[in-house]
Structure 1
Amino acid sequence: MVRVRQTAERSGRTVEEVRVVAISKTKPFSLIRQVYDSGHRCFGENYVQEILQKAPQLPNGIEWHFIGHLHSNKVKSLMVPNISMVEGVHNEKIANHLDNAVSSLARNPLKVLVQVNTSGEPCE
């Protein structure tokens, strides 16, 4: 965290303005719990199934981030109570599915990061 603080200061920000997301994919519950108990709150997964397995067994204070490619048939199941952000929404269909899922649950808005194809390449 020292490097995070130094980098934040060099960029003119405070460390409080920076969020470190601990990627917990394939990590056991016990390790995630240890990191949580040390004060960390943001964890990222790139498999919906892992969030579904881990979220109910870990503290509600965790802010889950889904990182990566999300299939439309997985959107509803991703809506665990403490999902905080979806990173990498790559098309309008997924964005609409997320919007509908969040609206149907009457929960706080979900934060999303949109993936933008700036190169114009069809595979991006």
Structure 2
Amino acid sequence: MNEIPRGTLQEQTFYEQVGGEQTFRRLVHRFYQGVAEDPLLRPMYPEEDLGPAEERLALFLMQYWGGPRTYSDRRGHPRLRMRHAPFVVDRAAHDAWLRHMRVAVEELGLSEEHERQLWDYMTYAAASMVNTAG
């Protein structure tokens, strides 16, 4: 018998399929390069060094897409809306965030399907963070 019985092979997670930690770190690093120069978004990051914010987003995205659970181990439940509540996140901030994330996603050079999945999540996440009309 040369067949492998159904259910015995573990499928790769999205995280693994797209290249794991290195891919997510590239994505987030490129994103924050844009944020660093953005007059609307930069004030939302009170730390002078964007490195800690970059690390948090990278760990969150890695965990979300099936990688290590380091984010939750360090910070607990993501509580994304709560963590963003102190900041005015309006339509302009939403659009700016997506503009920088779009550049970062495109530069990864993922397959069309993987890029679509990632982008669908990013647009959903950005919309869910809006907390102010306008």
The question of a shared fold, defined as TM-score above 0.5 by the shorter chain, is answered with no
Q: Which bracket does the TM-score occupy, shorter chain normalised?
A: under 0.3
Q: Please identify the structure whose Cα radius of gyration is greater.
A: 2
TM-score when normalising by structure 1: 0.27
Of Structure 1 and Structure 2, the greater helix share is in 2
TM-score when normalising by structure 2: 0.25
Higher relative CO (Cα under 8 Å, sequence separation at least 6) belongs to: 2
